[in-house]
Amino acid sequence: MFADELISCLREMYPGGYSHTCRDPFYMLVSTVLSQRTRDEVTIPATKRLFAVYDTPRKMAEADAEDIQALIRDVGFYRVKARRIVEISRIILQDYGGVVPNSMEELLRLPGVGRKTANCVLGYAYEQDVIAVDTHVHRISNRLGLVKTSGPDETEKELEKVVPKDAWKDVNGLMVLFGQSICRPTSPRCEECRLKAICPRIL
């Protein structure tokens, strides 16, 4: 399947795209750090609880990590993430005047921030043409034969070669929706999938 056909099909299936609670860069950064190895159903309410108390880099930087832990306790690795969020906020405050940086190079210097998190900030908050490869994007791209890769960073590079650039920033949201509803990690719902006629996984 050609990548542009896949994107068109997913846009038809999910015309509203992925709906984020908030696309503010700091909110997006913290929520994506919280989402690492944690399901959306847990991440979204935890982020809301956290921002109800600490809604700026300054407030978060001055917070006690233990108070943050109490607000995000159901998130995976919450103790580590609470410390990282305080540390990230201090760096943003001290080195960037309280504004989340908008380049991959600078974002990767923040503790706990890898390419996926950086690309979520760059794509969703700063609307740059990037492909954020999470577990859904990596799995679905390989199942459909768009790429043949062993890790997310390689998937990102390979997808950049086959997906039209003007669709890069839509890839994550569309594949997350598709991966949560149809092409699930285990027990994908192939019988009701619109792509089953062309999916190499079941041909």
Positions that interact with ligand SF4 (CB under 6 A): 143-144, 182-183, 188-190, 193, 195-196, 199, 201-202
Residue ranges of alpha helices (H) inside the chain are 3-13, 25-35, 40-53, 57-61, 65-71, 78-96, 104-107, 115-120, 135-143, 152-162, 168-181
Dist. CA 25–CA 90, nearest whole Å: 15
CB of 174 to ligand SF4, least distance (A): 13
Q: Dihedral (C-alpha) 92, 96, 100, 104: value to the nearest 10 degrees?
A: -110
On whether 9 is known to bind a ligand per the annotation, the reply is no
For ligand SF4, give the closer residue by CB, 48 or 201.
201
CB of 5 to ligand SF4, least distance (A): 13
On whether 183 is known to bind a ligand per the annotation, the reply is yes
On whether 22 is known to bind a ligand per the annotation, the reply is no
CB of 186 to ligand SF4, least distance (A): 11
For ligand SF4, give the closer residue by CB, 104 or 198.
198
CB of 52 to ligand SF4, least distance (A): 37
DSSP string, 19-68: --S---HHHHHHHHHHHTTS-HHHHHHHHHHHHHH--SHHHHHTS-HHHH
For ligand SF4, give the closer residue by CB, 6 or 50.
6
- Known binding-site residues for [4Fe-4S] cluster equal 183, 190, 193, 199
